[in-house]
């Protein structure tokens, strides 16, 4: 809805809003983008950008919003299909993943603690090896976190 409205407003007004928003951000990249937007606005004011070019830009903007709407409709349909599935495991995969993560975390930390206690001289290399697993744990815990939040939202919607 909002992208379609923005496409109908047109590029000049959109540039004004975006440029103003970017100028208010205290960041060099945002300031540079705001300056670029001001240059485009100045080109529009000087008529360096022809009405035909502006109409073409607006047409592209409208087409992009149509594509965005299509993509959102597909995502929505996918979610609705998933919610309508009566397979019991669809409802249980989140807890299964959570229990698997908890078990894996417990086994890993227990093994590391045992290895450090059994051979304290190896503690620095063991800790270094553990640090190298951070990306794997970060991704897995991120998936678990999203799953928990999403399930909480699902339960709220069911009430």
- The pLDDT tens digits for 29-88 are 888 888 888 888 888 778 887 777 777 877 777 777 776 677 777 777 777 776 677 777
CA angle 64, 68, 73 (to 5 degrees): 150
Query: Could you write out the DSSP letters of every residue in 74-85?
Result: HHHHHHHHHHH-
Determine the pLDDT at residue 118.
Answer: 95
Task: Give the end-to-end CA distance of the chain in Å, rounded to a whole number.
Answer: 27
Determine the pLDDT at residue 115.
Answer: 94
Tens of pLDDT, residue by residue over 6-30, are 444 566 777 777 777 878 888 888 8
pTM here is: 0.42
DSSP letter assigned to residue 130: H
Query: In the chain, what are the domain boundaries?
Result: 2-81, 87-158
């Amino acid at each position: 809805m909002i992208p379609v409205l923005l496409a109908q407003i047109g590029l000049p007004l959109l540039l004004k809003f975006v440029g103003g928003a970017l100028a208010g951000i205290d960041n060099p990249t945002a300031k540079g983008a705001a300056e670029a937007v001001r240059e485009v606005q100045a080109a529009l004011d000087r008529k360096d950008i022809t009405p035909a070019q502006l109409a073409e830009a607006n047409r592209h903007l409208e087409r992009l919003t149509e594509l965005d709407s299509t993509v959102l409709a597909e995502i929505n349909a996918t979610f609705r299909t998933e919610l309508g599935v009566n397979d019991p495991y669809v409802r249980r995969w989140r807890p299964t993943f959570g229990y698997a993560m908890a078990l894996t975390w417990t086994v890993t930390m227990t093994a590391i603690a045992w290895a450090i206690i059994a051979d304290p001289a190896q503690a620095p290399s063991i800790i270094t090896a553990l640090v190298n697993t951070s990306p794997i744990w970060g991704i897995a815990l991120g998936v678990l976190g999203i799953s928990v939040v999403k399930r909480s939202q699902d339960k709220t919607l069911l009430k």
